């Protein structure tokens, strides 16, 4: 589902964010990208939905070479990917419902279909009762779940989660992982970036460890 071949990413002249990264993530996998902060996890995720382009190397997502994708097809790539951002990226001046409805509109859904979809994803993350709340009035865990709900609006083939439990206590983190597993069980390929190696070891069947921009370990359960 996601393949990288000898990917390098250099910022400016000499900041090497990623060095010779090659990886394979299969369809339907629940994979982890583990590593300390600053290791290049977020950059790697951004390459997948082409928010960044690599300095060199090739990236294939869902069978298509991301770098050879013409600009006008970029929206189509992104519509197959759900992203849970580290900082959530929720609009503070709009209620939860509007935050999600924005995606429905971008996807070109009709009003009724859009409302139904919003209701559906909110039910899935257990926040139906919060639809009309402004995000900053929600707890951290709830905001995280809104971010997940938004990433699910397009029924993505791939779900990328950047530190989805970064600032949650263990109990809430377990909740979030239960949710991600549920999503994965329905066939969505999930890639979670985390600095928490224990967490990755505990939940991951496929753990890629990133250090200073290099993949230092590619562990696959049962292989």
- From the list 32-40, 71-79, 182-190, 204-212, the region that binds other proteins by CB under 8 A is 71-79
Chain centroid to CA 163: 9
- Residue ranges in 109-168 that form contacts with other proteins under rule CB under 8 A: 110-111, 150, 153-154
# residues near other proteins by CB under 8 A: 23
Minimum CB distance to other proteins, residue 211 (Å): 27
- Residue ranges in 8-67 that form contacts with other proteins under rule CB under 8 A: 49, 51
**Alpha-carbon torsion angle 92, 94, 98, 102, nearest 10:** -60
Neighbour-count burial for 122-133, b at 16+ CB within 10 Å, e otherwise: bebbebeebbee
- From the list 12-20, 62-70, 99-107, 210-218, the region that binds other proteins by CB under 8 A is 99-107
CA dist 119 and 24 (Å) reads 34
Q: Which residue has the tokens 């402004």?
A: 134
Q: Which of 13, 72, 178, 223: binder of other proteins (CB under 8 A)?
A: 72
Q: Which of 63, 70, 108, 222: binder of other proteins (CB under 8 A)?
A: 108
Minimum CB distance to other proteins, residue 155 (Å): 12
Interaction of residue 183 with other proteins, rule CB under 8 A: no
Contact in structure between 210 and 40 (CB atoms under 8 Å): yes
Q: Detail the DSSP E strand segments found in 12-157.
A: 15-25, 30-34, 56-61, 64-65, 81-84
Residues at the site binding other proteins, with contacts judged by CB under 8 A: 49, 51, 72, 74-79, 83, 89, 91, 102-103, 105-108, 110-111, 150, 153-154
């Amino acid at each position: 589902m996601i393949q990288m071949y000898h990917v390098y990413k250099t910022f400016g002249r000499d900041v090497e964010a990623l060095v010779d990264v090659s990886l394979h993530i299969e369809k339907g996998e629940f994979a982890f990208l583990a590593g300390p902060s600053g290791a290049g996890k977020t950059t790697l995720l951004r390459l997948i939905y082409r928010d960044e382009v690599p300095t060199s190397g090739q990236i294939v997502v869902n069978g298509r070479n991301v770098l050879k994708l013409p600009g006008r097809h970029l929206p189509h790539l992104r519509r197959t990917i759900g992203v849970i951002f580290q900082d959530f990226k929720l609009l503070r001046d709009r209620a939860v419902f509007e935050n999600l409805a924005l995606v429905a509109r971008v996807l070109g859904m009709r009003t009724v279909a859009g409302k139904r979809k919003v209701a559906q994803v909110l039910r899935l993350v257990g926040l139906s009762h919060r639809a009309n709340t402004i995000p900053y009035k929600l707890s951290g865990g709830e905001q995280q779940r809104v971010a997940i709900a938004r990433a699910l609006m397009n029924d993505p083939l791939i779900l990328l989660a950047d530190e989805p439990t970064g600032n949650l206590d263990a109990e809430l983190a377990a909740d979030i992982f239960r949710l991600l597993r549920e999503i994965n069980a329905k066939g969505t390929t999930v890639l979670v970036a985390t600095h928490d190696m224990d967490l990755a070891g505990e939940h991951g069947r496929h753990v890629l460890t990133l250090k200073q921009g290099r993949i230092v370990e590619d562990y696959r359960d049962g292989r």
